[in-house]
């Protein structure tokens, strides 16, 4: 008998409603405890622990022990992108041309906030994410490097210091393009992009919406981002 195809195992791991809800929660790119995820999914602690063990075993999630706690997140960006693609398929309610169906989906009232700004595996996506990338390139603060990577220029390193953790070293694929599902253009992804989003949240420029990947631009953020960088 042939071994069960790997794809079938992954599909089965995602197909369970509780695990699917858990994975969707982890798409915000943050780390969550099993207790937090259990509350979000509406199941008991033991049930969530069993689901998380399976997700970790199948390579869909990762666990990071810290002190007495264990924090869970998506395994990597490939998993995040696969889940984003599945969400697009699941949410497609209109037939016909795929781009047209996608456009209608993102124009629905309940999707407008997500389209404007959301977290995509920890980095800034949506209209604001695309405009952020375009602004950094236009100002010369980020420049293209080899193999699809980007690097900070000297001017960019100085200008973005307030959003970058002290001592952060941008090496390898610290910054690269990621296709934005709603805008059909690129936003920045990678560890440096994640650090920037965390910096924006810490400074109060963006506010997370509870139980959602939506990000809302605050008045200080409108001044800090829109006027200075995105105008």
- Helix crossing, 6-15 with 17-26: angle to 10°? 90
CA distances from 136 to 157, 169, 197, 231 (A): 11, 18, 14, 12
User: Which residue ranges make up each domain of the chain?
Assistant: 6-76, 92-227
Q: What is the CA radius of gyration of the chain?
A: 19
Task: Enter the tokens of residue 128.
Answer: 């604001």
CA distances from 145 to 151, 153, 159, 163, 175 (A): 6, 11, 19, 21, 10
Its pTM stands at 0.77
Reading the chain (231 residues) residue by residue, the pLDDT tens digits are 455 678 899 999 999 999 999 998 998 888 899 999 999 999 999 999 999 999 999 999 999 998 888 999 999 888 988 888 787 777 665 444 455 555 566 666 667 888 899 998 889 999 999 999 999 999 999 999 888 899 989 999 899 999 988 877 767 678 999 888 888 889 999 999 999 999 999 999 999 998 888 999 999 999 988 877 876
Domain 6-76: top CATH class: mainly alpha
């Amino acid at each position: 008998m042939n071994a069960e195809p790997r794809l079938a195992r992954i599909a089965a791991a995602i197909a369970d409603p509780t695990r699917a809800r858990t994975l969707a929660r982890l798409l915000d790119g943050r780390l969550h405890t099993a207790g937090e995820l259990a509350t979000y999914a509406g199941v008991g602690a033991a049930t969530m622990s069993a689901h998380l063990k399976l997700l970790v075993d199948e390579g869909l999630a990762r666990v990071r022990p810290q002190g007495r706690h264990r924090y869970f997140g998506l395994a990597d960006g490939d998993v995040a992108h696969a889940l984003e693609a599945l969400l697009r398929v699941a949410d497609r309610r209109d037939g016909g041309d795929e781009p047209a169906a996608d456009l209608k989906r993102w124009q629905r009232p309940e999707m407008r906030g997500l389209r404007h700004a959301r977290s995509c595996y920890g980095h800034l996506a949506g209209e604001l994410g695309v405009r952020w990338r375009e602004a950094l390139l236009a100002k010369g603060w980020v420049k293209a490097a080899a193999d699809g990577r980007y690097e900070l220029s000297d001017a960019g390193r100085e200008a973005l210091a307030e959003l970058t953790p002290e001592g952060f070293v941008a090496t390898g694929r610290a910054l690269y393009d990621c296709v934005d599902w709603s805008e059909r253009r690129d936003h920045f992804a990678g560890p440096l992009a994640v650090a920037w989003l965390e910096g924006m949240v810490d400074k109060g420029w963006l506010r997370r919406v509870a139980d959602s990947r939506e990000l809302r631009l605050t008045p200080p953020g409108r001044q800090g981002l829109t006027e200075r960088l995105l105008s």
